[in-house]
Structures are given as structure tokens and as C-alpha cells.
Structure 1
């Protein structure tokens, strides 16, 4: 997709070990993500740095293989996400961009699945109809968080997430990956953290 943009002007400061430990301390055993999210991290590291780096990234986890639609602790996901982003930091110009690069693979992986293909049928009624179902897709992918969507115009909206263990860069990368898959022109995405585990991600598309 040509002309896609995200917020890259300043480092968020969220790529520290202290921030990782803070988020981990807030998780509970009930907070989970689907294995697809873990696959996305592994695929990014394997593609950019090779198999040995991917094995190193996942080396501290007790499980070594993940089924796409099984549930796994979000604490495991956060640990491998941070480890991967630190590994990819130099290649992609910082931790934030590394997270965006990783998250950019979630939409293609999801849309290629049986569940994703069902969601993709919604795009036949226009991208707005598909995006309206993003809160449902989020709840299908993670057990935590509250997600809402507010439209500012026909091609301009804001995604709000509450008690969300994901970084706002996860959502930036995921949205840009979705827009790329839908071949929407002139996509722009800019997120920010607005609370301890709360995010706002503004997006738009069109020339």
C-alpha cells in the first residue's frame, strides 16, 4: 500500500524492561491471547534474523509450539514481544518501529484463517463495515480489554482500548497491515497511550 504512515516522530519510552515488568505485574491467569499472535512474533524474527534468533526469542517459554486459535497467557506474549522488538530494534530504527513491524503481520495471518475469511466477507460491503467489526475481532483474539470505535467521518475514526496489555504500536501496525491487505490508499494511523493500560489509535484513509 502506498502512502501509509504511522506515528514515528518520537520514541514512546515503552520499550524498557521496567515497562515490561509493570505490565507483567498487572496480568492475571485469565488474560490470554490466541496462538496466532505468538506466531506473528516468531515469523517476524525468523524472517528478519533467522531461525536461530527465533529459537532464542522463544527459548524462555515452557511451550515451544503454539496452535493458532488456542489460548496462551498474555504474559508469555509480552515477554516474547519485548524480546523480539529488542532484537529487531536496530534493523527497524527503534523499539516502537520493531513492534509495528511485528504487528503488521497479524492481519494477513488472521485473514488467511477460516475465521478471518469470514470477516473478510464483510469488506464486500465496504471497509467501514469490516472495521466496525474490529471490537469483535479483538475479543476473538484476546480475553482481556474493552474495545470501542468512534467514527469522526466516513474514512476517519478512533479506536479506544481499555485494560489492554498490548502497546499502542501493536494496534498501529495491525491497522496498517489490515489497510494494506484491503489495498486502501493513503492510510494514516497514529496511536498514543492515554492511561496505565489504555490506548487511543486514530486512523484514516483516502487521498
Structure 2
């Protein structure tokens, strides 16, 4: 996990800073990703929290394959984070939980189930290697690359990422665990304004 736990204010400021880079016409996100995000908040929070998030971004619902500005994602997260932090041991832990839920959504999809079949009885490598394609499906921007450093360790380079490091940690940890890995570790850090490196390993 992250080496030092940062405060709520730190992660709210981090989200607000990332939000300043959003170009509404260029940085878009599919409706199914936003619907999934609200579903995660329903699981981690409650229905009242979901309603507050919808009000914050001025939407009644999201259409699966419609492209929305990524600014809406920030409005949702900035609204939800204080409540989730109270329930899940702080803002950093809450962001990590949202990332874990995002992985759960991906693994339940057609592509995710296909990758799970490939991973059965083998190793988490096929699932981790599928992450770049998974991010490309949902977002119009950024890139994710996987670099293998050994049989059971690697590094993910996320460029142009609007998500915070703990979110990426949660994504990676859930994927590793879903493939049966034990002794999993993931540590992500910012390396640029919108760039993140996440080093991971398992036993």
C-alpha cells in the first residue's frame, strides 16, 4: 500500500488539482464507467450518497455508451470522498476501495470473464496485462503500460491519468487477488502532473 497515509485535505486537493487539467471536449468518459462508479459508491456508501452525487453533477442518470466530460467524475468523487473516508478508515483507504470495486466491475464484464479463464491455474500475468485495454475501453485519454520486472513483480505506468495513486493501487490489488495471488503488494506514486507509477508483486 501507500508508504504514508495522507490526509483528507491532501486527497481532496489532489482531485481538485487533477480536475484543472480536464478539457471537456477532449477528456471524455463513457456513461457505463460513471454508472459503475455510482454503483461502487452505493456499495461503499448508500443510496443517499448516490443521490447527492447525481445532484452535484446535474444528472438524473447516465447512458452507457454516451461520452461525458470527465469533469463529472471529479464532481462525483469530490462529493463522495468525505463520507466514504468516515466509513472506510480515511480518504486514502476509501480511494483504494473505489479502485478495488472498479476492478470487480471489469472482471464481471465479458472481457474480464474471458481474461479470468485465461488466468485459471496459471498466473495473474494475463489479467494484469489486460489492464491497458480495459482503460482504453472506458476513457478517451491517457495510456497504461505494464512492465514486467520478474516472474511475480512488475510496474504499471499510467500517463495522463486523472485517477489518484490509491485508486490504481486498489485496481491492481483486486486483479491480483482475483487471479488467486497471495501476499499481494501495490505501491503507487505520482511521477508527474498526471502520471502515476504503480509497482506490484505477489508471493
Q: Which whole-Å CA distance do the structure 2 matches of 1:204 and 1:117 have between them? A: 22
1:36-115 superposed matches below 5 A: 36-115=32-111
Answer yes or no: is 1:33 the counterpart of 2:43: no
CA shift in 2, pair 1:150/1:49, >3 Å: closer
Q: Structure 1 residue 9: deviation in Å? A: 3.1
TM-score by length of 1: 0.86
> Which residue matches 2:191?
194
For structure 1, which runs of at least 5 residues remain unmatched after alignment?
1-5
Where in structure 1 do 4 or more consecutive aligned residues deviate above 6 Å? none
CA shift in 2, pair 1:21/1:50, >3 Å: closer
Number of equivalenced pairs: 200
Q: Which whole-Å CA distance do the structure 2 matches of 1:205 and 1:120 have between them? A: 17
TM-score by length of 2: 0.87
CA shift in 2, pair 1:137/1:49, >3 Å: closer
- When the two chains are superposed, the root-mean-square deviation of aligned CA atoms in Å is 2.1
For structure 2, which runs of at least 5 residues remain unmatched after alignment?
none
Indicate conservation of the 8 Å contact 2:169/2:198, yes or no: yes
C-alpha distance after superposition, 1:34-78 (max 9, x if no partner)? 334323432233234321121012212232222445432211112
